[in-house]
Amino acid sequence: MLIIFGGLPGVGKTAIARELARQLGAVYLHIDSIEQAIRDCGVMNPPESGYCVAHAVAKDNLLLGRTVVADSVNPLRVTRDAWAEAASLAGVGRFEVEIKCSSPRLHRQRLEARPADIVGLRVSWEEVLSREYEPWNREHIVIDTAATSVAEAVAELRKAFVERAT
């Protein structure tokens, strides 16, 4: 199964995605880490390169029968469709999760307090507010981190996986 996360920077998706991957023993793909590694190699980084690499690695691991957790902003329909295609090409199901934070104050606090070692790229509050982020157009789970802890979110997702499988 491919578990596809999306949400603006600073909403808490990485904390949830990492913990879910840990609990499931899943392969964890973090777009920020992939894009930073590409830049560290001195390669020019067109905006889609991290996603292209992640889709290929996800498909390889899905074909091996591994569960993959994909952690990215995933802001556009085209990026979400590409993840769906990776799952389809591997012949596995997908589970889409959008993480939001309904409190702008809390969202901004989290964004500005993120440690540099897990971010890859520094993103300002103004960049978050101006970022293009298309509404999701298909079934997915939405978790609001303004009212849900990481542990609660992971438990909710695990419960949803079990319900979907039955």
Segment 40-45 mean pLDDT = 76
| Nearest alpha carbon to residue 136 among 79, 51, 93, 86 | 79
Residue 114's pLDDT is 82
User: Does residue 86 have a pLDDT over 80?
Assistant: yes
* pLDDT tens column, 51-64: 999 999 999 999 99
> Distance between CA atoms of 92 and 4, rounded to whole angstroms?
13
Per-residue model confidence (pLDDT) at position 67: 96
How do residues 94-116 score in pLDDT, each as one tens digit? 999 999 999 999 999 999 988 76
| Confidence check: pLDDT of 164 > 80 | no
Domain definitions of the chain by residue range: 2-165
Q: Closest by alpha carbon to 161, among 65, 67, 91?
A: 67
Q: Which of 3-7, 18-22, 134-138, 150-154 has the lowest mean pLDDT?
A: 134-138
The pLDDT of residue 115 is: 74
Average pLDDT, whole number, for the chain?
91
Domain 2-165 falls in which CATH fold?
Answer: Rossmann fold (3.40.50)
